[in-house]
Amino acid sequence: MEESKNELDELEKNETEEHEYTTTYKLNSYGIDFDVNGLVRRQNSHSIYLPDFQRNYVWSKKKASKFIESLLLGLPIPSVCLYKEEDNKQIIIDGFQRLESIRLFYSKKFSDGSKFALVSVNSSFEGKTIEDLDEELRLKLDDTLIHATVVKADEPQEQNYNAVYLIFERLNTGGVNLTPQEIRSCVYHGSFQKIIQNLVKDENFKKVLIVSSKRKKDQEIVIRLLSLANSYEEYTGNMKEFLNQYCDINKNKSEADCSVQVNLFNQTFSFLSQLDFNIFRPSKVLNLAILDAVFVGTYKYLQTGKNLDFNKYSSAIRAMVNSSDFQKNIETGKTHHSIPLKERIEIAIKKIQECNE
């Protein structure tokens, strides 16, 4: 059973960040016109790409057809935004739905595998594939120009990656707003993201969360838990920024580099999965503040290599979650603030250590 969309939206709907992004960034940008045929070639060669294609394409065939029709009619269309990486490849920041619609039309297959013949368009185009267009119209489509704004971070690039996240967050107009983790998967793509994708498949993790993977909320939760377990002391009050920094630092780490984290993560969830289901859902919806405190406390204890007595541990967690000092640190609206977050985690670390002494 999965959380409904509304329940997913409720997870952190009322949580505010303690502070906004405070860093200033060094970026430069320039405009360039690509012809449609050239864009398709670049997408097929992955010199223009979206790193994580699991998000992703959400347009219906009707909507995609309308966009292709606009190109055929010569109507003006919005520009796209790209981010130029160090290897000169370009990440699609804004315009993925449009660019992917073009690529699919040229490939003759829609995202669901069916033939991409135009639907709900002008009768002169209705039912036509790319191959059905006459030569003049095909050349017109090939040569149609699409304007792009290309953004590049000044050196050192790693200090400006958070700006790329913000550009994704603020400029994306794909019809369905990207979630923070969908953006993160694009900006901080690399071997670490693949490790995160594997961790969400853990059966104990899925048993505790029962959260849909559709918009990558499960992946974001894994990153939240690992980042807090390894550096909660450094948290300053902005969860998005904190998770971005953790992903940036770890983006190129291999499975071998992360083996200790992965093993501790799995061990921790083997204990969490045995706890009373309602501990993490006092109001039916998953409470991430309770989850992160219990996870980090358990993770830190297992990190010592000591054995954990489950009966004592279970009783201690139940009592801790119901205590007034813990409850004040999970108040809605302040769970992302630095003091409540650190205090609830430190309470959990202390209680779990004490119950096993």
Phi and psi at 32, nearest 5°, equal -150, 145
Using DSSP's 3-state secondary structure scheme, residue 326 falls into helix
pLDDT exceeding 90 applies to what percent of the chain? 66
CA geometry: angle 118, 124, 127, nearest 5 deg:
30
pLDDT bracket for residue 246 (50, 70, 90): very high
Task: State the amino acid at position 26 in one-letter form.
Answer: K
The pLDDT of residue 7 is above 60: no
- Dihedral angle over CA of 168, 174, 177, 178, nearest 10: -50
Task: Give the model's pLDDT for residue 169.
Answer: 76
How large is the average pLDDT for residues 303-317?
95
pLDDT bracket for residue 54 (50, 70, 90): very low
CA distances from 115 to 34, 57, 107, 141, 282 (A): 26, 16, 9, 19, 48
User: 10 Å Cβ neighbour count for 8?
Assistant: 20
What's the predicted TM-score (pTM) here?
A: 0.77
How large is the average pLDDT for residues 137-165?
82
Task: Give the model's pLDDT for residue 22.
Answer: 58
Q: How far apart are CA 12 and CA 286, in angstroms?
A: 10
Q: Which residue has the tokens 């190129």?
A: 252
pLDDT bracket for residue 175 (50, 70, 90): low
Burial 245-283 (b: 16+ CB within 10 A, else e): bbbbebbeeeeeebeebbebbebbbebbbebeeebbbee
Task: Give the model's pLDDT for residue 325.
Answer: 96
How large is the average pLDDT for residues 173-191?
75
Task: Give the model's pLDDT for residue 235.
Answer: 96
Locate 259 and state its tokens. Answer: 């083996």
Cross-strand pairs, 33? 147
User: 10 Å Cβ neighbour count for 129?
Assistant: 14
CA distances from 270 to 87, 205, 307, 346 (A): 41, 8, 13, 21
Task: Give the model's pLDDT for residue 164.
Answer: 75
Comparing 91 with 230, the larger pLDDT belongs to: 230
Locate 49 and state its tokens. Answer: 């790409």
Task: Give the model's pLDDT for residue 183.
Answer: 81
